[in-house]
Amino acid sequence: MSGSYFPKCVALSALLVLSVGALDTFIAAVYEHAVILPNRTETPVSKEEALLLMNKNIDVLEKAVKLAAKQGAHIIVTPEDGIYGWVFTRESIYPYLEDIPDPEVNWIPCRDPGRFGNTPVQERLSCLAKDNSIYVVANIGDKKLCNASDPQCPPDGRYQYNTDVVFDSQGKLVARYHKGVDFTPQKQSRGTTTTWKQRVVSCYQN
């Protein structure tokens, strides 16, 4: 883990998200770890098995979050695919996905975990941020139902997104960024939109 100062263009955006406009700089921790992977990514597992694996990786992230906060970091950026791994099929990734609401709903999952259905991963990430008074950036999966009225709706009736989320130091969901486009089984793509505030997350990838 390393504490660092982000480049000026990213810092200016992140300052608004962090709500620390009175500060000239902020301390960010960027963390990588050896992700605990499922035994087979091409075979679907139960939601219980998926959550068990994700909690093992979040256990690792929890130690990093606590250390970063102790060292004075205002925000910690956790790894791409750091919670469930990679090389999934469309079907086998589904048990790992949660419905991630628009941040405009003003939601702290740690305090109100059942508001948007079963969201244990968002609840835990929110509590990590809240309990350690630090912003947490994490990469998880989002799912959105659709129907025949949408001509691009996949046959299985849902969009699936590789998603970055940000929880503030109170545990509130403040950003959701659907990375790139969602590819349907017919190779069609669905573009996504974000608010200006959410674009700070995309800066971490460039």
Cα 161 from Cα 55, distance rounded (Å): 20
pLDDT of 121 > 70? The answer is yes
Least confident of 34-48, 88-102, 117-131: 34-48
pLDDT digits over 147-173, tens only?
Answer: 989 999 999 999 999 999 999 999 999
Mean pLDDT value across the chain = 82
Cα 10 from Cα 126, distance rounded (Å): 23
Give the pLDDT score at 187.
41
Structurally, at CATH architecture level, domain 28-178 sits in 4-Layer Sandwich (3.60)
Strands 135-145 and 158-167: what pairing? antiparallel
Q: How far is CA 94 from CA 19, 120, 127, 148, 192, in A?
A: 34, 15, 24, 20, 19
* Residues pairing with 135 in the sheet: 75
pLDDT of 85 > 50? The answer is yes
3-class state of residue 12 by DSSP: helix
